[in-house]
Amino acid sequence: MRPGAAYTGRLLRVDLSTGEWAVEPLDGALADQCLGGRALGARLLYDEVHPATDPLGTANKLIFTTGPLVGTLAPSTARWCVSTKSPQTGIYLFSICSGNLGVELKKSGFDVLVVEGRSETPVYLRITNGRPTLSSSAHLWGLDTFSTQEVLQQELKRFGTHSLACIGPAGEQLSKMACIISGRRAAGRGGPGAVMGAKNLKAIAVRGIGDVTVADLAGFMTCVNEARRRIDAAPFLRQALSRYGSAVSVGLVNERGMLPTRNWQSGVFADAQGILPQSFRENAVIKDLACPTCPIGCSKLCAGTDGSVSEGPEYETIYAFGSACGIGDIGRIVQADLLCDQLGLDTIAAGVTIAFVMECFQKGLVTSEQLDGLPVEFGRGEVLPVLLRKMALREGIGDLLADGVLLAQQRLAVSDDSFAMHAKGMELGGYDPRGAKSQALVFGAGPRGGCHHANGYVITAELASGLYDRFSVNGKGGLVRGARDLRTVLDSTITCAFAGIANGLDITAELLAAATGDDWDMTRLVEVGERCSNLERAYNGLIGIRREHDTLPGRLLHEPLLEGASSGQIVEMDALLDDFYATCGWDIVSGLPTEEKLRELGLADVADDLAEQVADSSLRA
Amino acid sequence: MSIGERILVFDPCKCTSCSICELTCSVAKERAFNSNKARLKVISEPDPANPDLLSCHMCDRPACVAACPTRAIEIGEGVGMVWIVKQDCTACRRCVSACPFGAINMWEGMLSPVVCDFCAGQPKCVQACPWAALQQSD
């Protein structure tokens, strides 16, 4: 790593407890080993936040990382990553969001922003032209994310336009499903908004004026043009995804009997007409939008019930508030999506939690009284806005639901946990793994809990490539491992996964070589990806995560799907895990990375930490 | 050509606010990635459904030229293209304020403002736009 060649070479550290700040050099060896984004965040978290840290305590940190391609014209790279210990899962968390916040950080001269400590009173952090200032946010406290950003933008006008990230009421209330909103986009999963709330940090505003520079501009632009050409030549990206957004998958997944419906009681949603791509396009979309630097433009400005206008929903939100809640009215889904953005709630977590309560109500496990008299029944779209507001403000039933499905199940005293649809406390994304077995490993063995893609995106390979028998467990460990190592690299440069469909490791290596002036090739890149996953796994291992935690809700393991094209299927988790661990070089019994694997990846210190902890725990046993 | 007729024709329906045009301009003109330094700007807030483009309209009687106290802005023959003669410019910013289209850019630390020169007739932003939301008028 050389400062000025895709990196600024500097890290900004702000301590909210003391109000002090410092600029530190970014360790070049760290950047060479971990690139940026997710992998760099994982390493810094490993080094700086002890595994026993209370996620909502003063010692937890918010590590905002950019990446070597961020701020350049490399397609779909205006992104930033936040790494922290998750209040929702209690384990490792990263969350990536698009928009210019990371670009502005780099233009301010920083690759990384570390926010630590806790302010006694509500504040916001402004970084203008590289200089951080903490100011009171008392006047913003209680405002939703859109109002917060409006007020701040007005207030900061005299300093120029800033990129903003903030929390809404949900984050202030320490909801474990609180996200961070930047513009109209979210760092959604795992509750990073609650970490901001616990630190009394309402918002971050960044404006930089410097250039983002690369080592070989002409060579880099040649690679950029090639990357653009490949995206233009990919019909899935420039025709399907551009036109319908990620909602394009709704029909395919439903046809395969994998669209989680009525809280995963079925994989076929009979009322899907209203959420199918063509209908979505015709009835909801009012404008095509793109994240900065993205030639695909999968973002859709949509009109919802009550005249609400939202950027989104995308596939996962359509699943969570749509099929999972038995709601086929796209207007209601748009309305719920917008409300979540304003309140600062993660849409997947909120939708899946509500779907769980709907099933409890269906089965008579909760009373109408417990639900504040609300008709929390499948298909009742009008209940969504009421519930979401209650959740964000912790009012009545909302207080029981505000922290996600795992705690909702416990608080409602529902003894059967087989249909609380989460893994390690994080609500599942919208692909039933009973119909595509590799997805079980993505949910069950992923680094941040039940996320649908952090452990690699496998749905296209399973459903559309023709290379895999989706019901078989054979070869699925390797499929996930390959998808995982591509994903961790993209998340570290930081490039959107959709752009990665056209621009894989080869073009990424070329872009990086031209940008940094260093030798990057595919082998070295895969190593970065693998190193990232092993660091994440080791960190979770130090927290106590073992093989027995790599599991899924009982419904997926024991209840065969009863209708549709995946009928009769369940998830064979043990066989899948054996294969995956073996492929990863992880211990089959414990699920921990082996010492050899860690040393091979240059993580000898991590191997020592893990060995020490394992020895300690066996002594205690 | 009347005042306000654009050389760069902008279609707000096609524009996705991806800002590729701005970064492309900054690379072409400043050899760096920095949208603050672009000669054009897409405004997509507060109404993302109706983006607008700020760029030089090649006015017949340019307000920027009239506003310049040192006559540092010259007009090209035939077309209304303007350029700023650096050695005559005092960085007073009057042209920036005078332009009704917000097309003249002068960022922090600059010694003289910049304006679109249409890349000698082959605008890079037009070539880079993924959705042909930017076109060159005849």
CB contact under 8 A, A295 and B109: no
Please name the member of A211, A297, A301 whose beta carbon is closest to the beta carbon of B34. A211
Label residue B4 by pLDDT band (50, 70, 90): very low
User: How confident is the model over A71-114, as pLDDT tens digits?
Assistant: 999 999 999 999 999 999 999 999 999 999 999 999 999 999 99
Residue A356's pLDDT is what? 98
B33 touches chain A (CB under 8 A): yes
Residue A395 CA to residue A102 CA, distance in Å, equals 35
CB A12 within 8 A of CB A110: yes
Closest CA relative to residue A245, chosen from A206, A302, A205, A201:
A302
Q: Where are the beta strands (DSSP E) in chain B?
A: 8-10, 41-43, 52-54, 73-75, 82-84, 134-136
CB A567 within 8 A of CB A257: yes
CB contact under 8 A, A287 and B48: yes
CB contact under 8 A, B49 and A294: no
Best interface-test mutation with A: which of B13, B17, B18 has the largest number of A CBs within 10 A? Answer: B18
Question: Which value, to the nearest 10 degrees, does the dihedral of the CA atoms of residues A208, A209, A215, A216 take?
Answer: 130
Strand pairing report for A92-98 and A79-85: antiparallel
B17 touches chain A (CB under 8 A): yes
CB contact under 8 A, A129 and B24: no
Please name the member of B16, B23, B37 whose beta carbon is closest to the beta carbon of A297. B16
Residue B5's pLDDT is what? 54
B49 touches chain A (CB under 8 A): yes
CB contact under 8 A, B31 and A217: yes
Residue A391 CA to residue A173 CA, distance in Å, equals 9
Residue B76 CA to residue A216 CA, distance in Å, equals 34
A107 touches chain B (CB under 8 A): yes
Residue A578 CA to residue A589 CA, distance in Å, equals 9
Question: What separation in angstroms does the CA of A138 have from each of A123, A143, A201, A202, A393?
Answer: 7, 10, 10, 9, 17
What's the whole-number mean pLDDT along residues B6-26? 94
Question: Which value, to the nearest 10 degrees, does the dihedral of the CA atoms of residues B9, B13, B19, B25 take?
Answer: -10
Residue B79's pLDDT is what? 63
pTM summary value:
0.97
Residue A616's pLDDT is what? 84
User: Nearest-CA distance from A97 to chain B in Å?
Assistant: 15
Residue A586 CA to residue A23 CA, distance in Å, equals 38
| Cα distance between the two ends of chain A | 45
Residue A146 CA to residue A164 CA, distance in Å, equals 11
User: Nearest-CA distance from A329 to chain B in Å?
Assistant: 23
What angle do helix axes A522-543 and A604-620 make, rounded to 10 degrees? 20
For chain A, positions 307-346, list CB contacts with chain B under 8 A: 309, 311
CB contact under 8 A, A288 and B16: yes
Strand pairing report for A10-15 and A21-25: antiparallel
Q: Which residue of B lies nearest to A146 if distances are taken between CA atoms?
A: B46
Chain B residue numbers with beta carbons less than 8 Å from the beta carbon of A301 are 48-49
CB atoms within 10 A of CB A596: 10
CB A305 within 8 A of CB A142: no
Best interface-test mutation with A: which of B19, B22, B110, B129 has the largest number of A CBs within 10 A? Answer: B19
Q: How many CB pairs under 8 A join A and B?
A: 69
Residue B2's pLDDT is what? 45
> What are the tokens at A208?
């930089």
Closest CA relative to residue A442, chosen from A431, A452, A434, A432:
A452
Residue A122: cis peptide before it, omega within 30 degrees of 0: no
- A181, containing H or E segment: strand A180-182
Please name the member of A211, A291, A295 whose beta carbon is closest to the beta carbon of B33. A211
Closest CA relative to residue A31, chosen from A63, A64, A60, A6:
A6
Please, which residues have CB within 8 angstroms of residue B37's CB and are 6 or more apart in sequence? A211, B25, B26, B29, B30, B105, B107, B114
What's the whole-number mean pLDDT along residues B78-93? 87
Q: Which residues of chain A have pLDDT under 50?
A: none
Question: What separation in angstroms does the CA of A319 have from each of A244, A246, A325, A341, A456?
Answer: 15, 11, 8, 16, 19
User: Nearest-CA distance from A300 to chain B in Å?
Assistant: 10
Within a 13 Å sphere around the CA of A266, how many CA atoms are in the beta-carbon half?
17
Q: Which residue of A lies nearest to B21 if distances are taken between CA atoms?
A: A293
Please name the member of A228, A232, A289 whose beta carbon is closest to the beta carbon of B17. A289
A72 touches chain B (CB under 8 A): yes
B42 touches chain A (CB under 8 A): no
Chain A residue numbers with beta carbons less than 8 Å from the beta carbon of B17 are 289-290
User: Nearest-CA distance from B47 to chain A in Å?
Assistant: 11
Complex prediction ipTM: 0.96
Please name the member of B23, B36, B48 whose beta carbon is closest to the beta carbon of A301. B48
Q: Which residue of A lies nearest to B18 if distances are taken between CA atoms?
A: A292
- Apex CA A54: angle with CA A50 and CA A56, to 5°? 125
Maximum Cα–Cα distance for chain B, whole Å?
42
CB contact under 8 A, A221 and B27: yes
Count of helices and strands (H, E) across chain B: 4, 6
Chain A residue numbers with beta carbons less than 8 Å from the beta carbon of B32 are 211-213, 217
Closest CA relative to residue A437, chosen from A484, A467, A480:
A480
Residue A407 CA to residue A181 CA, distance in Å, equals 24
Q: Which residue of B lies nearest to A238 if distances are taken between CA atoms?
A: B130
Maximum Cα–Cα distance for chain A, whole Å?
67
Q: Quick one: DSSP state of residue A68? A: T
Residue B6's pLDDT is what? 59
